[in-house]
């Protein structure tokens, strides 16, 4: 790996952390936001949902655009827009404008993951791609626990945090534009309109199975921690913070995914992660502190293997003309699963924590089976 490529990966990881971290950085400030604008905590929590749903929907727009206009251009313009939207979030004088600014911020942030993952797949030789994907997966996954932790540790209010983050996106945009190589972009006719590309991708049964599996993995992760928090309220023996800390170190196993992908293939690595996650949810049904701690460790391990495996599966099934679209659908599925998990888990909690664990358990088993059943399907060329 050249120095330039190493620097590019480093900047992509750093940008991935501060972009995806916007999903979680507002969590510690929900109470303060409720007090500041005179709204309920439930309403204040919607500043996270407003970002999350806009973020997921934007993937379907900017993934295909990166196929047409180039990864470097979409990444740089996207990060500049994120910087501007982040300033608006920090300066929002009313709750309505804060929500609107978060929606704009989510749409702008959605430019990053599909284009960045496609850039990694196209910038590295085949032998090094699994490692590059593992680095990006670690940045995306590590943002979930680290962003709210750092925000809480800083002791700053939300406006100060946002205004402090905005310049980082501008630095990232400049660095990526300098380091990323401008590659030839297929003509619009060669890339093919979305109405031609998407039906062809949908005909690839293995690709569709990977998309469906993506919706289950973060759904299980968020549902588990939502249920654990409800159990903590009913049983003081359970400490949610301990469960979160127990799940942090296994996320480093994203780096183990690279050699596993190289030896056994991306789909097999993804199935292993999904299976470990399903087994962890089965352990969680027991509901004791020891079982939940073991489940937290196992679930993070499964997540660390499944996400890089699924990314490599999706990237490997498509060429340059449709890779951005395929990864956009993947990231859309991933974060829609994460976004609906908390309300679904909250709705099932009155029926018992065990039922909350059984739903994602079943979905994970189905996802793993879907990848296994379709593993011999041949990729279909995209016009």
- Rounded distance, CA 118 to CA 314, Å? 10
Please classify residue 256 by burial: count the beta carbons closer than 10 Å to its beta carbon, then call 0-12 exposed, 13-18 middle and 19+ buried: middle
Q: Note down the domain range covering 330.
A: 193-376
Q: Return the structure tokens found at 21.
A: 């971290």
Report which of 204, 194, 136, 206 is spatially closest to residue 322, judged by C-alpha positions.
Answer: 194
The torsion angle over the Cα atoms of residues 313, 145, 43 and 221, rounded to 10 degrees, is 50
Chain-wide mean pLDDT for the chain?
A: 84
Pick from 147, 180, 213: which residue ends a domain?
A: 180
In a domain, 361, yes or no: yes
Please provide the distance, in angstroms rounded to a whole number, between the alpha carbons at the two ends of the chain: 32
Q: At what angle do helices 353-373 and 266-284 cross, to 10 degrees?
A: 160
190 pLDDT band, cuts 50/70/90, is: very low
116 and 29 in one domain? yes
Residue 65, in any domain of the structure: yes
Q: Are residues 95 and 231 in the same domain?
A: no
Q: DSSP letter at 319?
A: -
Band (pLDDT 50/70/90 cuts) for residue 187 is very low
- Tell me, yes or no, whether 233 and 333 share the same domain: yes
Q: By mean pLDDT, which of 20-34, 73-87, 175-189 is the weakest?
A: 175-189
Judge contact between 74 and 11, C-beta under 8 A.
no
Asked if 153 and 300 sit in the same domain, the reply is no
Q: Write the DSSP symbol of residue 24.
A: T
Same-domain pairing of 71 and 131: yes
pLDDT digits 0-9 by tens, 98-136: 999 999 999 999 999 888 888 887 888 887 887 888 888
Residues 171 and 240 in one domain: no
Same domain, 292 and 371: yes
Q: Clarify whether residues 51 and 155 are in a common domain.
A: yes
186 part of a folded domain: no
- Has residue 198 been placed in a domain? yes
Do residues 5 and 123 touch, judged by C-beta distance below 8 A?
Answer: yes
Q: Which of 180, 211, 238 is the last residue of a domain?
A: 180
Q: Which residue has the tokens 């018992």?
A: 352
In a domain, 216, yes or no: yes
211 within a domain of the structure (yes/no): yes
Among 152, 180, 208, the domain-final residue is: 180
What is the per-residue pLDDT for 196?
Answer: 67
11 in any annotated domain: yes
Structurally, the chain folds into a number of domains equal to: 2
Which residues, 6 or more positions from 36, have their beta carbon under 8 angstroms from its beta carbon? none
138 and 17 in a common domain: yes
Please give the helix or strand (H or E) that residue 66 lies within, else none: helix 46-69
CA distance 292 to 284: 5
Does residue 258 belong to any structural domain of this protein? yes
**Residue 251 corresponds to which tokens in the numbers above?**
């996320």
What share of the chain in percent tops pLDDT 90?
A: 36
CATH number at residue 241: 1.20.1250.20
**C-alpha to C-alpha distance for 196 and 237, rounded to whole angstroms:** 55
**pLDDT tens digits, residue range 221-256?**
888 877 776 676 556 567 777 787 788 889 888 888
Going by the DSSP 8-state scheme, the letter that residue 236 receives in this structure is T
Q: Note whether 357 and 281 are within 8 A (CB).
A: yes
Q: Are residues 240 and 171 in the same domain?
A: no
What local confidence, expressed as pLDDT, does residue 321 receive? 66
Whether residues 160 and 293 share a domain: the answer is no
Residues 225 and 93 in one domain: no
């Amino acid at each position: 790996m050249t120095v330039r490529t190493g620097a590019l990966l480093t900047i992509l990881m750093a940008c991935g952390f501060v972009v995806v971290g916007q999903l979680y950085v507002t969590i510690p400030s929900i109470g303060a936001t409720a007090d500041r604008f005179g709204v309920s905590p439930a309403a204040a929590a919607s500043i996270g949902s407003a970002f999350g749903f806009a973020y997921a929907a934007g993937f379907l727009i900017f993934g295909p655009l990166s196929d047409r206009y180039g990864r470097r251009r979409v990444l740089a313009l996207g990060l500049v827009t994120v910087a501007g939207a982040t300033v608006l979030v920090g300066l929002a004088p009313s709750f309505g404008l804060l929500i609107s600014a978060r929606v704009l911020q989510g749409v702008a942030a959605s430019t990053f993951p599909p284009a960045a993952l496609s850039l990694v797949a196209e910038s590295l030789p085949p032998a090094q791609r699994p490692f590059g994907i593992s680095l990006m997966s670690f940045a995306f996954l590590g943002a979930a626990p680290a962003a709210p932790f750092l925000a809480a540790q800083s002791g700053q209010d939300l406006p100060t945090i946002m205004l402090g983050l905005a310049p980082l996106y501008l630095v990232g945009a400049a660095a990526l534009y300098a380091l990323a190589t401008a590659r030839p972009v297929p003509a619009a006719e060669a890339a093919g309109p979305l109405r031609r590309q998407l039906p062809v991708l949908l005909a690839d049964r293995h690709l569709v199975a990977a998309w469906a599996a993506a919706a289950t993995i973060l759904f299980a992760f968020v549902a588990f921690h939502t249920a654990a928090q409800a159990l903590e309220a009913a049983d003081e023996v359970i400490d949610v913070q301990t469960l979160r800390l127990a799940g942090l170190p296994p996320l480093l196993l994203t780096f183990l995914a690279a050699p596993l992908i190289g030896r056994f293939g991306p789909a097999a690595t993804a199935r292993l992660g999904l299976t470990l996650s399903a087994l962890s949810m089965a352990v969680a049904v027991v509901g004791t502190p020891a079982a939940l701690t073991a489940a937290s460790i196992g679930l993070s391990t499964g997540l660390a293997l499944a996400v890089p495996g699924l990314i490599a599966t999706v990237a490997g099934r498509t060429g340059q003309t449709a890779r951005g679209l395929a990864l956009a659908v993947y990231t859309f599925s991933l974060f829609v699963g994460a976004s609906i998990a908390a309300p679904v888990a909250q709705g099932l909690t009155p029926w018992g924590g065990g039922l909350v664990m059984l739903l994602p358990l079943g979905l994970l088993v189905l996802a793993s089976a879907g990848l296994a059943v379709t593993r011999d399907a041949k990729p279909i060329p995209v016009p």
